[in-house]
């Protein structure tokens, strides 16, 4: 399986510095949560890893080997945030998932596509439909199925559950966590939902204006946030009123 | 499980392919006219020379230079040949030349236009540069230049006109391809290792085909005219061949003797051009279908109906206090997909109502119906009232909505026009709806931007949307809704695309706006936490129906519907047990196309019994108190409420257990 390592990563767009001096290790088989405010550079870090953002400083290593600077099929897969833009409007969702399947598996394609769609809670009979017939949440699940189809060694999930319903979100997170544990891929989980990050991640990294300001084991960071940004993020969680006593089983 | 409630009519409709859309669009009046005219033209081109060939080439010295007569409808030429027959016979050559030139232009344009997407960065840039230079070259000069190179004659003319088309087409295709190439789905394909060429064929081409076809149709018209021009000048088709341009040339010399001989080929050029334009129009319509966001008021039938089960919901009669009211709303799409089955809701002046439910439960369509914006081909039934006006019955009342209702969408990226300055976009609203002067409107825009917390609003008003961050864009868009004084704000997932800090700002902003203006709010969200923070009352939707309605204060403690309780149980919090799986709701919500008898939740509900599967539960007052209604045969008892039904003793209080969710998953 694979580990992901960022060493002094910097990304500049023209004269604007989006990310600077980020050192981060996502160890093999573990989950790292990347959190931060709006425009703090979370998505840019994810894009830099797959070659979609220009790396202007530092190195990105997967299993100790440099990631190519241009996008191409590597062990890293990325799922985007916006479900309305991440699927080709002219390609049926089944074809979109099939495109990601490794070559060797082409023979069992239809069955595998159906399995993956079922896995993310989409009726496999919808495989022939175009994305426009799906609601936003349904599209995002297809995008996730597509990324999983490529059997990634490192998965970058950029706000993948922010457009999902709680019911589905739970299923997707359970699924992600189970698959992550079973298959052992490293997961970089970019999210603004700290409750979800707390549940899913072994360690948590906090970005602020393109710089890493805090990084550590989840429980510790949540309990004793050292940086102001982390404290602000924690205080912004909408507080749910106390609810019905824990549901008995 | 004994009986299944949901009879699986699995919606395996074929995708709305381009070909299918084209067929649909050809059924419209424009499409049908285009098709008929194109067929006629094709028939003339194919059969013309066969049927009229002899007549057109028969030299008759006894009938030279005749005028219009019964024997010769358009007269004869200097060799006594029938002009009408010659015009018809010329159709084939004219079209062949015009279409070949277009084909050359299209192929060249595609090659050059798509090259930057296939080639590497450097080579791509070189191609882009070359095309840029060629585009700047004057078109007519280009044609004449090429015509000189290739020599006089039809081959030279075809090449000249075809090649002259290449730069513009290439530029168009380059621009279109670049925007597709920048999309997330192409980025994903690249990460998946899909080759550049494959990306172009699979992802880029299908997404640009419509504008390209449209442009090609225009180009075909243009090249017809260009050929007529070249032949007329003697640079095109040479004797003994003839096209409409040469006939025009010959006819023009005798225009005072026999006007018809000059007019007929001219008219033929114009008519053929019109046919191409019509075909292009038909294709453009095809493209229009795709943009579901196009705000066309859909077909509507203002009937107080209730198709499946008239007993479904308590008839919400016209409520005098309601600012906005939906009664028995039903929204369906062709192919038997009913997205909203039966929804009645009302929003009182100044009230904040939350609409929650799973993806696909019909929340957005319900809101769109209220704003009279259900996309084509959605079919809206029921009664939609705003401020006492029946929107479906009185089409003019829709116009009032612009000023009194503001809509905030989920995606702040697409809701503002990227090409216009933000201040201008806001100002337009009050220019149109309040009739303000340009200057006053702009001043108000700056004021509104300040009101939504945009720092330095004067400067920001002069910026374009891409210079704003996502959160600022969303705030600017809310500011746009506030330009005219709205009485109802509909916000569809306004914070879903934003991170927590910005989400908090936007929610606070919505709260402040309501406090300042007294506007009512319909907030759609799948995030119960957000709804709980902002709203007074919550409606929970499931499979196109409202299954529970309750005051927000009771949401987390006193929900009675098993679905609502399961939703609440599924929210991860800062105290969620890390060693267990997150609670989920097993199974899937029914598809809009599925036929449901009884309770739509029954397949996923732990409390379902035979009655649930056979009878649709009615939205009825719940035991919990005023303003609480639930559509369930066996509602759960909330804290402090009473059990309203004969719940089995071994039933636990929740529909969803972790053990179950594990088993199902
Ligand atoms: N143009 C359309 N053609 C066919 N079906 C459609 C169309 N628009 C929406 N639907 C279907 O209608 C159902 C309800 O759609 P709607 O957008 O109202 O859901 P929603 O509750 O807002 O979901 P989300 O939370 O994902 O936004 C979905 O199953 C969707 O697939
Ligand atoms: S108990 Fe209520 S929610 Fe469950 S199936 Fe019966 S009617 Fe539906
Ligand atoms: Mg929606």
Last residue of a domain, one of B479, B499, B519: B499
Using the Cβ of B510 and the Cβ atoms of chain A, whether some distance falls under 8 Å is answered with: no
Q: Are residues B335 and B459 part of one domain?
A: yes
Q: What is the CATH number of the domain that holds B373?
A: 3.40.50.300
Q: Is residue B529 part of a domain?
A: no
The residue to mutate among B332, B340, B363, B547, having the most atoms of ligand 1 within 8 angstroms of its beta carbon, is B363
Using the Cβ of B650 and the Cβ atoms of chain A, whether some distance falls under 8 Å is answered with: no
Q: What span, in angstroms and rounded, lies between the C-alpha atoms of B339 and B342?
A: 9
pLDDT of B628 reads 92
Q: Are residues B374 and B260 part of one domain?
A: no
H/E stretch holding B359 reads none
Q: What span, in angstroms and rounded, lies between the C-alpha atoms of A219 and A214?
A: 13
Tell me, using a 6 A CB cutoff, whether residue B365 lines ligand 1: yes
Q: Burial-class residue B385 by CB neighbours within 10 Å (0-12, 13-18, 19+).
A: buried
Q: Are residues B341 and B269 part of one domain?
A: no
Nearest CA in chain A to B504: A236
CB contact under 8 A, A121 and B588: yes
Is the preceding peptide bond at B432 cis, omega within 30 degrees of 0?
no
Q: Is residue B159 part of a domain?
A: yes
Which runs of consecutive H residues, i.e. helices, occur in B233-324? Answer: 244-252, 259-290
Which ligand 2 atom is the nearest neighbour of the CA of B608? 5
Residues of B within 8 A of A74 (CB-CB) are 191, 193
Q: Is residue B530 part of a domain?
A: no
Q: Are residues B137 and B282 part of one domain?
A: yes
Q: Is residue B630 part of a domain?
A: yes
How many residues does the structure list for chain A? 249
Q: Is residue B504 part of a domain?
A: no
Ligand 1 centre to CA of B362 (Å) is: 6
Q: Can you point out the beta strands (E) in B296-391?
A: 299-301, 322-333, 337-348, 352-357, 379-386, 389-390
Q: Is residue B388 part of a domain?
A: yes
**Mean per-residue pLDDT over chain B, rounded:** 78
Q: What span, in angstroms and rounded, lies between the C-alpha atoms of B25 and B32?
A: 8
Q: Are residues B326 and B268 part of one domain?
A: no
Tell me, using a 6 A CB cutoff, whether residue B589 lines ligand 1: no
Which residues line ion ligand 3, judged by CB < 5 Å? Answer: B 364
Residues of B within 8 A of A76 (CB-CB) are 191
Q: Are residues B236 and B337 part of one domain?
A: no
Q: What span, in angstroms and rounded, lies between the C-alpha atoms of B659 and B237?
A: 83
Tell me, using a 6 A CB cutoff, whether residue A160 lines ligand 1: no
Residues of A within 8 A of B524 (CB-CB) are none
Closest ligand to the CA of B656: 2
Q: What does the pLDDT look like over B468-477, one tens digit per residue?
A: 777 788 788 8
Q: Are A142 and A93 in contact (CB under 8 A)?
A: yes
CB contact under 8 A, B665 and A175: yes
Which ligand 2 atom is the nearest neighbour of the CA of B561? 3
Nearest to A167 among B12, B184, B584 (CB): B584
Q: Are residues B376 and B242 part of one domain?
A: no
For a pLDDT cut of 90, what percent of chain B falls above it? 14
What ipTM does this complex have? 0.81
Sorting pLDDT into bands at 50, 70 and 90, what band is B420?
confident
H/E stretch holding B433 reads helix B422-433
Q: Are residues B448 and B421 part of one domain?
A: yes
Q: Which residue has the higher pLDDT, B656 or B182?
A: B182
Least confident of A52-56, B130-134, B219-223: B130-134
Closest ligand to the CA of B543: 1
pLDDT of A238 reads 62
Q: What span, in angstroms and rounded, lies between the C-alpha atoms of B460 and B467?
A: 9
Sorting pLDDT into bands at 50, 70 and 90, what band is B298?
very low
Ligand 3 centre to CA of B497 (Å) is: 12
Q: What is the CATH number of the domain that holds B164?
A: 1.10.3720.10
Q: Are residues B261 and B327 part of one domain?
A: no
Taking residues A148-164, what's their average pLDDT?
84
Q: Are residues B266 and B325 part of one domain?
A: no
Compute CA B278 distance to the chain's CA centroid, rounded to the nearest angstrom: 22
Closest ligand to the CA of B585: 2
Interface mutation target, options A157, A166, A169, A191, chain B, most CBs of B under 10 Å: A166
Residues of A within 8 A of B413 (CB-CB) are 82
CB contact under 8 A, A232 and B652: no
Residues of A within 8 A of B358 (CB-CB) are 137, 165, 167-168
Q: Which residue has the CA at smallest separation from atom 8 of ligand 1?
A: A133
Tell me, using a 6 A CB cutoff, whether residue A167 lines ligand 1: no
DSSP state of B313: B
Q: Are residues B320 and B291 part of one domain?
A: no
Q: Is B32 helix (H, G, I), strand (E, B) or coil?
A: helix
Closest ligand to the CA of B294: 1
CB contact under 8 A, B500 and A162: no
Rounded alpha-carbon distances, angstroms, from residue A152 to A173, A205, B5, B209, B516? 17, 22, 39, 33, 51
Rounded to the nearest 5 percent, the helix, strand and coil shares of chain A are 40, 25, 35
Can you read off the two tokens belonging to residue B193?
Answer: 């290792």
Q: What does the pLDDT look like over A120-140, one tens digit per residue?
A: 778 899 999 988 888 766 787
Q: What does the pLDDT look like over B11-41, one tens digit per residue?
A: 333 445 567 667 777 777 778 888 888 888 8
Q: What does the pLDDT look like over B581-602, one tens digit per residue?
A: 888 887 778 887 788 889 999 9
For chain B, how many structural domains are there in total?
Answer: 3
Tell me, using a 6 A CB cutoff, whether residue A136 lines ligand 1: yes
pLDDT > 60? residue B318? no
Q: What does the pLDDT look like over B152-198, one tens digit per residue?
A: 777 878 888 888 888 888 888 888 888 888 788 888 888 888 888 88
Q: Which residue has the higher pLDDT, B443 or B477?
A: B443
pLDDT > 80? residue B394? no
Nearest to B529 among A72, A137, A240 (CB): A240
Tell me, using a 6 A CB cutoff, whether residue B612 lines ligand 2: yes
For a pLDDT cut of 70, what percent of chain B falls above it? 82
Nearest CA in chain A to B121: A70
Structural domain boundaries, residue B571: 559-578+591-665
Tell me, using a 6 A CB cutoff, whether residue B333 lines ligand 1: yes
Residues of B within 8 A of A249 (CB-CB) are 652, 657-659
CB contact under 8 A, A244 and B496: no
Q: Are residues B286 and B213 part of one domain?
A: yes
**Rounded to a whole number, what is the distance in Å from the CA of B260 to chain A's nearest CA?**
50
Residues of B within 8 A of A129 (CB-CB) are 11, 13, 15
**Rounded to a whole number, what is the distance in Å from the CA of B105 to chain A's nearest CA?**
25
Q: Which residue has the higher pLDDT, A157 or B131?
A: A157
Q: Is residue B395 part of a domain?
A: yes
Last residue of a domain, one of B483, B499, B515: B499
Q: Which residue has the CA at smallest separation from atom 12 of ligand 1?
A: B339
Q: What does the pLDDT look like over B536-589, one tens digit per residue?
A: 999 999 999 999 999 998 888 889 999 999 988 888 888 888 888 888 887 778
Using the Cβ of B635 and the Cβ atoms of chain A, whether some distance falls under 8 Å is answered with: no
H/E stretch holding B621 reads strand B620-621
Q: What does the pLDDT look like over A86-99, one tens digit per residue?
A: 899 889 999 999 98
The residue to mutate among B566, B608, B637, having the most atoms of ligand 2 within 8 angstroms of its beta carbon, is B608
Q: Is A83 helix (H, G, I), strand (E, B) or coil?
A: coil
Backbone φ, ψ for residue B231 (5° rounding): -65, -40
Nearest to B567 among A37, A89, A166 (CB): A166
Report which of B109, B227, B111, B208 is spatially closest to residue B160, judged by C-alpha positions. Answer: B227
Nearest CA in chain B to A130: B15
pLDDT of B218 reads 86
Ligand 2 centre to CA of A106 (Å) is: 43
Can you read off the two tokens belonging to residue B63?
Answer: 């009938």
CB contact under 8 A, B501 and A198: no
CB contact under 8 A, B359 and A137: yes
Closest ligand to the CA of B6: 2
Q: Is residue B550 part of a domain?
A: no
A 10 A CB-CB count for B111 gives 14
List beta partners, residue B352: B521
**Rounded to a whole number, what is the distance in Å from the CA of A27 to chain B's nearest CA?**
20
Which ligand 1 atom is the nearest neighbour of the CA of B363? 21
């Amino acid at each position: 399986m694979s580990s992901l390592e960022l060493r002094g990563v910097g990304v500049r767009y023209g004269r604007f510095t989006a990310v600077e001096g980020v050192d981060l290790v996502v160890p093999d088989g573990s989950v790292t949560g990347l959190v931060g405010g709006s425009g703090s550079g979370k998505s840019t870090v994810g894009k830099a890893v797959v070659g979609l953002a220009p790396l202007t400083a530092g190195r990105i290593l997967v299993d100790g080997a440099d990631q190519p600077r241009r996008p191409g099929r590597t062990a890293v897969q990325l799922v985007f945030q916006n479900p309305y833009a991440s699927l080709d409007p002219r390609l049926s969702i089944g074809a979109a998932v099939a495109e990601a399947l490794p070559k060797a598996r082409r023979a069992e394609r239809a069955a595998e596509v159906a399995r993956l769609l079922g896995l993310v809670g989409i009726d496999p009979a919808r495989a022939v439909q175009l994305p426009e017939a799906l609601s936003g949440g349904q599209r995002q699940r297809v995008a996730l199925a597509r990324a999983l189809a490529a059997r990634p060694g490192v998965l970058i999930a950029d706000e993948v559950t922010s457009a999902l319903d709680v019911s589905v979100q739970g299923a997707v997170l359970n699924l992600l966590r189970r698959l992550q544990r079973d298959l052992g891929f490293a997961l970089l989980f970019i999210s603004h939902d700290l409750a979800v990050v707390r549940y899913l991640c072994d360690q948590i990294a906090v970005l602020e204006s393109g710089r890493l300001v805090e990084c550590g084991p989840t429980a510790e960071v949540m309990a004793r946030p050292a940086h102001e940004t982390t404290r602000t993020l924690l205080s912004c969680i909408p507080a749910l009123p106390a609810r019905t006593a824990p549901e008995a089983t | 499980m004994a009986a299944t409630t949901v009879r699986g009519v699995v919606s395996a409709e074929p995708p709305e392919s381009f070909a299918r859309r084209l067929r649909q669009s050809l059924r419209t009046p424009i499409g049908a006219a285009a098709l008929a005219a194109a067929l006629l033209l094709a028939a003339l081109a194919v059969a013309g020379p066969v049927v009229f060939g002899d007549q057109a080439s028969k030299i008759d010295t006894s009938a030279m230079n005749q005028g219009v007569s019964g024997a010769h409808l358009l007269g004869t030429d200097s060799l006594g040949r029938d002009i009408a027959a010659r015009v018809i016979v010329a159709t084939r050559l004219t079209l062949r030349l015009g279409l070949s030139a277009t084909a050359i232009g299209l192929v060249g344009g595609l090659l050059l236009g798509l090259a930057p997407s296939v080639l590497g960065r450097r080579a791509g840039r070189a191609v882009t540069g070359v095309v840029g230079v060629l585009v700047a070259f004057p078109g007519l000069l280009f044609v004449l230049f090429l015509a000189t190179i290739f020599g006089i004659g039809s081959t030279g003319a075809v090449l000249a006109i075809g090649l002259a088309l290449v730069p513009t087409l290439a530029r168009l295709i380059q621009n279109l391809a670049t925007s597709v190439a920048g999309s997330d789905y192409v980025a994903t394909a690249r990460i998946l290792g899909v080759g550049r060429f494959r990306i172009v064929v699979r992802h880029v081409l299908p997404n640009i085909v419509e504008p390209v076809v449209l442009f090609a149709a225009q180009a075909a018209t243009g090249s017809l005219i260009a050929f007529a021009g070249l032949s007329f000048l003697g640079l095109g088709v040479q004797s003994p061949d003839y096209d409409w341009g040469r006939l025009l040339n010959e006819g023009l010399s005798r225009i005072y003797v026999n006007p018809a001989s000059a007019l007929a080929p001219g008219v033929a050029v114009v008519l053929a051009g019109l046919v191409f334009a019509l075909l292009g129009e038909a294709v453009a319509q095809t493209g229009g279908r795709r943009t579901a966001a196009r705000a066309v008021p859909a077909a509507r039938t203002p009937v107080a109906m209730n198709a499946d089960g008239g007993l479904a919901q308590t008839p919400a009669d016209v409520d005098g206090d309601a600012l906005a009211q939906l009664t028995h709303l039903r929204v369906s799409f062709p192919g038997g997909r009913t997205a909203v089955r039966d929804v009645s809701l009302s929003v009182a002046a100044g009230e904040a109502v939350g609409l929650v439910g799973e993806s696909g439960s019909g929340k957005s369509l319900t809101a769109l119906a209220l704003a009279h914006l259900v996309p084509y081909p959605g079919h809206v039934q029921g009664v939609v009232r705003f401020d006492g006006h029946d929107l479906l019955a009185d089409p003019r009342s829709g116009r009032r909505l612009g000023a009194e209702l503001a809509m905030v969408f989920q995606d702040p990226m697409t809701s503002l026009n990227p090409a216009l300055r933000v201040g201008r976009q806001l100002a337009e609203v009050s220019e149109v709806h309040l009739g303000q002067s340009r200057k006053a409107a702009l001043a108000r825009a700056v004021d509104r931007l300040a009101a939504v917390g945009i720092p330095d609003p004067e400067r920001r008003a002069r910026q374009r949307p891409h210079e704003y961050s996502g959160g600022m864009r969303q705030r600017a868009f809310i500011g746009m809704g506030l330009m005219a004084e709205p009485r109802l704000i509909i916000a569809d997932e306004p914070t879903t695309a934003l991170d927590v800090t910005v989400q908090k700002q936007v929610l606070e902003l919505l709260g402040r706006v309501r406090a300042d203006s007294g506007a009512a709010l319909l907030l759609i969200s799948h995030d119960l936490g957000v709804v709980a923070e902002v709203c007074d009352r919550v409606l929970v939707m499931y499979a196109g129906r409202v299954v529970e309605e309750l005051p927000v204060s009771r949401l987390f403690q006193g929900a009675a519907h098993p679905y609502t309780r399961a939703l609440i149980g599924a929210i991860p919090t800062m105290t969620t047990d890390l060693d267990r799986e997150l609670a989920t709701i097993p199974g899937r919500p029914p598809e809009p196309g599925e036929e449901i008898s009884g309770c739509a939740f029954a397949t996923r509900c732990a409390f379902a019994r035979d009655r649930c599967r056979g009878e649709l539960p009615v939205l009825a007052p719940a035991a919990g108190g005023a303003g609480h209604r639930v559509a369930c045969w066996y509602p759960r008892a909330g804290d402090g409420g009473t059990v309203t039904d004969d719940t089995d003793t071994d039933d636990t209080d929740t529909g969803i257990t972790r053990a179950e969710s594990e088993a199902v998953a």
